[in-house]
Amino acid sequence: MLHEKRRLQPPPLDHASDEIARFIETYFNAYNAARLRESCQLFARMIDEGATIGVSISGALTPAGLSSVLTPLMQKGFIDYISSTGANLYHDLHFDLDLPLYRGTADVATGAVDVQLRKDGIIRVYDVLFPADVLYKTDEWVYRVMLAPEFGKRMGSGELHHKIGKYALETAKQLGVKKPSILATAHELDLPVYSPSPGDSTIGLNFSAIYTAQPDRGPHVDPAIDVAEMSALVLDAKRADAGLSGVLILGGGAPKNFLLQTEPQLQEILGVAEKGHDFFIQVTDARPDTGGLSGATPAEAVSWGKIDPEKLPDTVVAYLDSTIALPLMAAYVVARCKPRKPRRLMKRMPEMMEKLRTEYRTTDLYKRHWG
């Protein structure tokens, strides 16, 4: 069942032919095909107009090998910061450790063989399969990494991931891995990566295990730091020369809201004069009428101050599977857009935090709370 020919090892999407961009522009004319074309074109506008671009990642995208699509976008300067489930970041580390994941088949996806998979020690993520040993080896690596003295402090998930990324990059290089993970690539680019629920993943399970053994060891992750840092980098984007902030949302869930709540944090909680993000793209298979489109539509987001009401035309929702849309959107912008210089926001974080504090101290809300 775990045949080597089915091993998931897609190469990085570093190059794309202009033909695929013309194909999308010519034949994606109506319904969700049109929304995908508009998403591609708006993503290109965000890049070309100099917006600071945040991407949220939910759903099991990295087990499917899609960090091979995301990391080239990071390297080309098309992604400036990330909000992700911890699970996506954890499972992407398997690739840095050169541990195998495999394509399954349609019969596997039905769940008819799960009892046998359990007996055979094989884990299933829909139609992606891997030996349970992949988890155990990754857990051992993560656990030992977080025992390093530099992790023994209070920190946000941005700093946690930056530190893990350093070790992931070193490991990938030692093993000759051609496609380093999101965290490894982010460390190299000083690109912030946040997880809104750091305890809701196997990374969280491992730092909890360290805390259980020795409460004074290991990272103590504080979400207040993450909220402040993301607000600081969005405010910096809006106060920069381009003055534009864009979001690309893959799926929904907590990563989506964590990406968007920066504007209510600035406006509602801190009292800073702001209007909302300027560009909004979401790829989702959820529906708003059942409450399943978490974080809501762009129009609803306007009511929360998450989206600038004057920029509502610069929003698109494509009702599609992210595993289909993301490679096409990435190929489009790789073909159409010139690479941008990495913003290295992680390195600039102390400066951006000081600017946020300075502006907050001038607001009426600050004076009311702090005198």
The residues annotated as belonging to the active site are 306
Helix (H, G, I), strand (E, B) or coil at 251: coil
Question: Which amino acid is it at 25?
Answer: E
Buried b (16+ CB within 10 A) or exposed e, 156-185: bbbbbbbbbbbbbbebbeeeebebbbbbbb
Of the candidates 225, 235, 94, 245, the one whose C-alpha atom is nearest the C-alpha of residue 162 is 225
Q: Is 6 exposed, middle or buried (0-12, 13-18, 19+ CB in 10 A)?
A: middle
Question: Buried (b) or exposed (e) across 201-240, using 16+ Cβ within 10 A?
Answer: bbbbebbeebeeeeeeebbebbbebbbbbbbbbbbbbbee
Is residue 2 within 8 A of residue 102, CB to CB? The reply is yes
Residues 254/85, Cβ–Cβ less than 8 Å: yes
